[in-house]
């Protein structure tokens, strides 16, 4: 298929629309009797940014994803055990550049977590405003917007936590669906956000955007 499509296979995704493909989420959000699994659960055979890292059901709405991309792919490096690009993955690192927002996400045993950002609690959290891949070990979460809609409302993005191994290196822990999460926040206003002092990144691009790596 890669040859037929003239595209690059990236751990269950395609390089030509990799940003859209990142907007997957776990099925348990639609099955109210199932809670998010503990952090670190999954197959361990794929990087956290790929749905192939999960051993449960996955949903994706990339077919009707509207809006414009507000993040850029710097690089995507996948190392497989053999020369077969579709074979067992030994390492996968995705580097993105974009805006960063620090948030504190408190589950507190509730189905709908409380989210604090920009020094205030988010009001009016809807059921599908935030979707976790795991229960969090810490409430401190970095958010990297992927898409916005007109007039530049934040729309989709990744929830990330640092690995603690290298500065600016993260693992994905969820997706935010900011139709309901940050409905009053415009993309240009991110420069005025008060990010917490625990925010980290790999590189400051100098234009309000940062480079991070996700494994």
Report the chain (215 residues): mean pLDDT per 10 consecutive residues: 91 92 77 49 74 83 70 95 88 95 80 72 56 88 86 80 96 79 53 83 93 98
- Cβ atoms of residues 161 and 143 within 8 Å: no
Give the count of domains, the chain: 1
98 burial type by CB count under 10 A (0-12 exposed, 13-18 middle, 19+ buried)? buried
In the Cβ-directed half-sphere of 162, how many Cα atoms lie within 13 Å? 13
The pLDDT value recorded for residue 107 is: 79
The span from the CA of 8 to the CA of 135, in Å, is 32
The Cα 111–Cα 146 span in angstroms is: 25
Domain of residue 167, residue span: 2-214
pTM: predicted TM-score of the whole model, two decimal places = 0.84
What lies within 8 Å, CB to CB, of 87 at 6+ separation is 80, 81
């Amino acid at each position: 298929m890669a040859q037929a499509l003239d595209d690059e296979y990236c751990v269950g995704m395609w390089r030509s629309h990799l940003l859209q493909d990142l907007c997957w989420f776990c099925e348990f959000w639609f099955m109210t009797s199932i809670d998010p699994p503990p952090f670190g659960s999954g197959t361990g055979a794929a990087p956290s940014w790929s749905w192939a890292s999960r051993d449960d059901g996955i949903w994706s709405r990339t077919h009707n994803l509207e809006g414009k991309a507000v993040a850029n792919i710097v690089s995507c490096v996948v190392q497989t055990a053999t020369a077969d690009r579709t074979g067992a993955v030994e390492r996968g690192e995705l580097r993105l550049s974009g805006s960063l927002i620090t948030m504190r996400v408190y589950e507190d045993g509730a189905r709908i977590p409380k989210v604090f950002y920009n020094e205030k609690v988010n009001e009016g959290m809807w059921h599908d405003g935030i979707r976790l891949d795991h229960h969090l070990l810490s409430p401190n979460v970095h958010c990297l917007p992927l898409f916005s809609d007109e007039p530049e409302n934040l729309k989709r993005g990744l929830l990330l936590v640092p690995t603690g191994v290298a500065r600016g290196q993260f693992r994905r822990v969820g997706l935010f669906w900011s139709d309901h999460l940050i409905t009053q926040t415009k993309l240009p206003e991110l420069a005025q956000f008060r990010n917490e002092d625990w925010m980290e990144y790999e590189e400051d691009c100098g234009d309000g955007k940062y480079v991070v790596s996700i494994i």
